[in-house]
Amino acid sequence: MLKVLAVANPNDIHEYRYLTALVRSGIKIHLLQRKPGPLDVELPVATHSRWPVSGRRTISKILGSNLGNLLADAAVHRQLRRLWNQTQTQICHVHWIDEKAWHCAIAGLRPLVLTCYGSDLNWTRLPDHDPYLRKQKAEAIARCDLFIADSEDMIALASELAGCELRSLLLPIGIDTQLFRPGYEVEASEWRSELGIPEDATLILSPRLIGPNYRQDTIMKAFCTAVRRGGVDAYIIFKKYLSDKACVDRILAIASEEKMLDRVRIIDAVPYERLSILYSMVDFAVNFPKMDAFPVTFLECCACEVPVISNRLPAYSSNGIAKYLTFVGDNDDYYALSQEIVTKCCSGVDKLLLQEARAHITRRFDESAFGDELVCAYKELLQEGVQSSNVREGVIA
- Distance, C-alpha 206 to centroid of its chain: 16
Asked whether the CA dihedral 96, 102, 108, 112 is positive or negative, the reply is positive
d(C-alpha 388, C-alpha 81), whole Å? 9
pLDDT computed for residue 38 by the predictor: 77
Task: Report DSSP state, residue 187.
Answer: H
pLDDT at 391 (0 to 100): 42
Cα 78 from Cα 147, distance rounded (Å): 24
Cα 171 from Cα 182, distance rounded (Å): 24
Neighbours of 390 (CB within 10 A): 7
**DSSP code at position 268:** P
| 310 bridge partner residues | 287, 327
**All structural domains of the chain:** 3-174+366-383 (3.40.50.2000), 185-364 (3.40.50.2000)
Q: Is the pTM of this model over 0.85?
A: yes
Cis peptide leading into residue 207 (ω within 30°): no
Interacting residues of 128 by C-beta distance below 8 A, sequence separation 6+ = none
Q: For 212-244, where are the alpha helices, taking DSSP H only?
A: 216-230
* pLDDT (0 to 100) of residue 394: 45
pLDDT at position 392 is 42
Q: What is the full per-residue pLDDT of the chain (397 aa) written as tens digits?
A: 899 999 999 988 889 989 988 988 899 999 999 887 777 778 777 788 999 877 667 776 676 777 767 788 899 999 999 999 999 999 999 999 999 999 999 999 999 999 999 999 999 999 999 999 999 999 999 999 999 999 999 999 999 999 999 999 999 999 999 999 999 999 999 999 999 999 999 999 999 999 999 999 999 999 999 999 989 999 999 998 777 899 999 999 999 999 999 999 999 989 999 999 999 999 999 999 999 999 999 999 999 999 999 999 999 999 999 999 999 976 667 999 999 999 999 988 899 999 999 999 999 999 888 889 999 999 999 998 766 554 444 444 3
Alpha-carbon distance of 296 to 285, in angstroms, equals: 13
